[in-house]
Amino acid sequence: MAGRIKIRAQKKGDITEVKALMRHPMETGMRKDEAGEAIPAHFITEVAVFHGDQTVMQGHWGAAVSANPFLGVRFEGGEPGDTVRVTWEDNQGGTGEGQTTIR
């Protein structure tokens, strides 16, 4: 079920506030399971927020970010009805994507 992103984007004054919640285990690779075996590292390495075709934010993430991470971004220039898209890639080649329209 990884790969899902819940996004809300709301315009407040000149600022569009984007809130994105991502479904991801964000395993650091440092933990062991109940049997004592290492749980393989599995975390988001790249995250990006787009307003239409424009990149609003790009980030490099690592193992220090929590499971099911929550991302908040504010940018100028959005209008209600515009599309906001959030994407991620992880260290195992997985990807996630979600989009919404600005309210």
Partner 1 sequence: MPRGYGVKTVFLWSVCLALSLGAARVPADGVFDQYRDLMGDDNPAVFVIDEGEELWFTAQGPKSATLEACDLGLGSGVTAGAYVRFPRYFADTNEVMDVEARLVHCMTTIQGRDLESVTAKPYSLRGDLGTEIEALVTWLAAESEGETIAPEQTHAAEREMYVLGEEIFFYRAGPHDFSCATCHEQSEMRIRLQSLPDLTSHAGAANAWGSWPAYRISQGLVRTMGWRMRDCFRQQRWPELQMGSTTSIALQTYMAVNAAGGVMSAPGLKR
Q: In the complex, which residues of this chain contact partner 1 (CB under 8 A)?
A: 1-2, 4, 6, 15, 19, 21, 23, 25-27, 31-34, 39, 51, 54-59, 64-77
Closer to partner 1 at the Cβ: 21 or 82?
21
Place of tokens 């996630």: 96
- Would you say 25 or 101 has its CB closer to partner 1? 25
- Least distance (Å) from partner 1 to the CB of residue 101? 18
Those residues whose C-beta lies under 8 Å from the C-beta of residue 87, and which sit 6 or more positions away, are: 47, 48, 50, 95, 96, 97
Q: How far apart are CA 5 and CA 32, in angstroms?
A: 27
Q: Which residues contact 43 (CB under 8 A, 6 or more apart)?
A: 24, 25, 26, 27, 28, 61, 62, 63, 65, 90, 91
Query: Nearer Cβ to partner 1, position 51 or 85?
Result: 51
Q: Cβ of residue 46: shortest distance to partner 1, in angstroms?
A: 13
- Minimum distance from residue 54 beta carbon to partner 1 (Å): 6
Question: 55 vs 101, which CB is nearer to partner 1?
Answer: 55
